[in-house]
Amino acid sequence: MLLILAAAASVTPAPPLPPAAGLAYAEAYERAERYERTDNGAMQYRTGVLYPWLGPSIPRILDTCVPRPKPADLPLFTLVLSFRDGRFDALQSSSDHPVAQCIVKQMSPLAWPAPPFPDFAEQMHFDLADKAE
């Protein structure tokens, strides 16, 4: 799980996989789950590379994507970051909510740091509901 999001959004257990997420999301989600279960150095990448690299961008992304004042109906969703052959492949959301899709749009073009494994995947859980103003 992406712990750096705790400062900008609450980190929560993963919501159930929605039927609309599609096979690509499900496959990447399963790889992310596998890397969380087996680790094999994935945690060192998360805490030493990915989180410190992504952390400074989160406030800007949330400022861009979350309306002001923040509404009470902000979504709970999971993003899955997926790599193929050691390169960024996709960032997909479990939600089609406009805020979730905006975050995907803002984060997808980032120059993601090289993963620890060619097929690495990572889950990022967002609970923005408790951030309403």
What three-state secondary structure class fits 32?
Answer: helix
Higher pLDDT, 53 or 16: 53
For the chain, what percent of residues have pLDDT higher than 90? Answer: 58
pLDDT at 19 over 70: no
The Cα 79–Cα 2 span in angstroms is: 10
> pLDDT above 70 covers what percent of the chain?
80
Q: What pTM was computed for the model?
A: 0.77
Return the pLDDT at 4. Answer: 37
CA dist., res. 75 & res. 9, Å (int): 11
Percentages helix, strand, coil for the chain (3-state, rounded to 5) are 45, 20, 35
- In the predicted model, is pLDDT for residue 22 greater than 70? no
- 88: tokens are 């960024």
Structure confidence by residue, pLDDT tens digits, 46-97: 999 999 999 999 999 999 999 888 887 888 999 999 999 999 999 999 999 9
> What is the structure's pLDDT at 72?
79
Q: Is the pLDDT of residue 128 over 80?
A: yes
**CA distances in angstroms from 27 to 17, 22, 70, listed in the order given:** 11, 9, 33
What letter represents residue 13's amino acid? P
Contact partners, residue 13, CB within 8 Å, separation at least 6: 125
**How far apart, in whole angstroms, are the C-alpha atoms of residue 81 and residue 89?**
8
- Of 89, 90, 92, 88, the residue nearest 79 (C-alpha): 92
